[in-house]
């Protein structure tokens, strides 16, 4: 299907009514709706959908570099390249057989090889990268949101020269800009949206860190592709590997998995 600005997108639908949209540009999930048709991801009303700019919102993929942790462009180049659909994807686990899915592939162009000369050489020698599923969750009111699972952990603070601190106290709440990389987190993180009575559960494998980002008012105003007040209705919680870059030796495979679910809050209390 054609999406915004004629860019190709794939629409996945489940029999029960949930759906998702993925753009080939960036391999970027831009929509995830539950069985009732409610949108669960945040995409800015000012998102440009204009290569070479990454789409603002959804789930951009930060690869082979997260943020400015390296010499490549911010968040690497995977989010502003065109991916391909794999026509013969490898078999999926039998317990997910009934799920709608699509496999997208990114292979480097000659230009990419100049800035990150790894892809074909990976058969010959190891390469190293950092990574994040840069997930923009849609929330009703950021000041009513709590994040559980990151309390008492160490984090790197992007707002303070990536210095290391330790999180104190209870679940995270938000009253100003935040841009932190929590280190070696549990595999389950819960994001509670009190007003919507909805809890997002993020589970991850192979991705030890978790980034939490909200630009708040000043930075929101400074971003051309983000509405001035939209920071109130989003929160990025990103399964990531940042502190310890991943190194793959020839022939080695790496899997980084993020699973998101959204459930009514009452089902989660006490867990
Ligand atoms: C977050 C980073 O993951 O992404 C922030 O931690 C950054 O530092 C934000 O500002 C948005 O990045 P970009 O490149 O999409 O504007």
Please indicate whether residue 36 is annotated as part of the active site: no
Contacts of 50 (CB under 8 A, 6+ apart): 5
Confidence of residue 187 (pLDDT cuts 50, 70, 90): very high
Q: Is residue 190, in this structure, part of any structural domain at all?
A: yes
Q: Is residue 89, in this structure, part of any structural domain at all?
A: no
Give me the pLDDT at residue 124, please. Answer: 39
Residue 88 has a CB neighbour count (10 Å cut-off) of 5
Reply yes or no on whether the pLDDT at 269 is more than 60. Answer: no
- Give residue 89 CA to ligand 1 midpoint distance, Å: 31
Reply yes or no on whether the pLDDT at 255 is more than 60. Answer: yes
Contacts of 128 (CB under 8 A, 6+ apart): 245, 246, 247, 248
Q: Is residue 49, in this structure, part of any structural domain at all?
A: yes
**C-alpha separations of 16 from 92, 183, 261, 262 in Å:** 20, 37, 15, 15
Lowest mean pLDDT among 14-18, 205-209, 232-236: 14-18
Lowest mean pLDDT among 6-20, 94-108, 187-201: 94-108
* CB 75 near ligand 1, within 6 Å: yes
**C-alpha separations of 269 from 13, 31, 40, 89, 138 in Å:** 29, 27, 20, 38, 20
Number of domains composing the chain: 1
Instruction: For residue 43, give the CATH number of its domain.
Output: 2.70.98.10
Task: Provide the phi-psi class of 30: left if phi over 0, else alpha when psi is between -120 and 50, else beta.
Answer: alpha
Q: What is the mean pLDDT of residues 256-266?
A: 91
User: Percentage of the chain surpassing pLDDT 90?
Assistant: 75
Instruction: Please check whether residue 37 is in contact with residue 98, taking contact to mean a CB–CB distance below 8 angstroms.
Output: no
- Give residue 51 CA to ligand 1 midpoint distance, Å: 17
Q: Is residue 117, in this structure, part of any structural domain at all?
A: no
* Ligand 1 probe mutation, 62, 131, 156, 158, most atoms within 8 A of CB: 158
- Pairing state of beta strands 188-193 and 84-85? unpaired
Give me the pLDDT at residue 52, please. Answer: 95
- Pairing state of beta strands 178-182 and 154-157? antiparallel
Instruction: Please check whether residue 129 is in contact with residue 116, taking contact to mean a CB–CB distance below 8 angstroms.
Output: no
- Interface confidence: ipTM more than 0.90: yes
Residue 234's nearest CA partner among 135, 150, 132 is 135
Give me the pLDDT at residue 125, please. Answer: 43
Residue range 94-148, pLDDT digits in tens: 776 567 888 888 888 888 888 887 643 333 346 789 999 999 999 999 999 999 9
Give me the pLDDT at residue 102, please. Answer: 86
Residue range 213-231, pLDDT digits in tens: 999 999 999 999 999 999 9
The dihedrals phi and psi of 46, each to the nearest 5 degrees, come to -100, 10
Residue 198 has a CB neighbour count (10 Å cut-off) of 21
Q: Is residue 261, in this structure, part of any structural domain at all?
A: yes
Q: Is residue 211, in this structure, part of any structural domain at all?
A: yes
Distance, in Å, from the CA atom of 141 to the CA atom of 177, rounded to the nearest integer, reads: 14
Residue range 163-175, pLDDT digits in tens: 999 999 889 999 9
Q: Is residue 90, in this structure, part of any structural domain at all?
A: no
Collapsing DSSP to helix, strand or coil, 16 comes out as coil
Q: What is the mean pLDDT of residues 54-64?
A: 96
Residue 46's nearest CA partner among 271, 231, 249 is 231
Domain that residue 34 falls in? 4-80+123-266
Buried residues in 1-27 as b, exposed as e (16+ CB within 10 A): eebeeebebbebeeeeebbbbbbbbbb
Give me the pLDDT at residue 267, please. Answer: 56
Q: Is residue 40, in this structure, part of any structural domain at all?
A: yes
Please indicate whether residue 259 is annotated as part of the active site: no
Give me the pLDDT at residue 271, please. Answer: 42
Lowest mean pLDDT among 6-20, 93-107, 144-158: 93-107
- Give residue 67 CA to ligand 1 midpoint distance, Å: 6
* CB 240 near ligand 1, within 6 Å: no
């Amino acid at each position: 299907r054609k999406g915004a600005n004629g860019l190709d997108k794939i629409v996945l639908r489940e029999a029960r009514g949930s759906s998702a949209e993925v753009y080939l540009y960036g391999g970027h999930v831009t929509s995830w709706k539950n069985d009732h048709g409610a949108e669960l991801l945040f995409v800015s009303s000012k998102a440009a959908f204009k290569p070479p700019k990454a789409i603002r919102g959804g789930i951009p993929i930060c690869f082979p570099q997260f943020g400015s942790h390296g010499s490549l462009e911010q968040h690497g180049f995977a989010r502003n390249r065109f991916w391909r659909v794999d026509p013969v994807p490898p078999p999926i686990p039998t317990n997910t057989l009934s799920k709608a899915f699509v496999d997208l592939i990114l292979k480097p162009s000659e230009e990419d090889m100049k800035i990150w000369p790894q892809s074909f050489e990976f058969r010959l020698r190891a390469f190293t990268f950092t990574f994040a599923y840069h997930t923009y969750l849609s929330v009703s009111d950021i000041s009513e949101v709590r994040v559980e699972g990151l309390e008492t952990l160490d984090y790197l603070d992007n707002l303070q020269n990536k210095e290391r601190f330790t999180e104190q106290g209870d679940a995270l709440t938000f009253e100003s800009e935040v841009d932190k990389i929590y280190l070696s987190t549990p595999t389950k993180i819960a994001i509670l949206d009190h007003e919507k009575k909805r809890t997002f559960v993020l589970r991850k494998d192979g991705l030890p860190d978790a980034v939490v980002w909200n630009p708040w008012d000043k930075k929101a105003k400074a971003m051309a592709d983000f509405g001035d007040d939209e920071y109130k209705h989003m929160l990025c919680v990103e399964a990531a590997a940042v502190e310890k870059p991943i190194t793959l030796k020839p022939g080695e495979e790496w899997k980084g998995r993020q699973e998101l679910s959204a459930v009514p809050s009452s089902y989660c209390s006490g867990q």
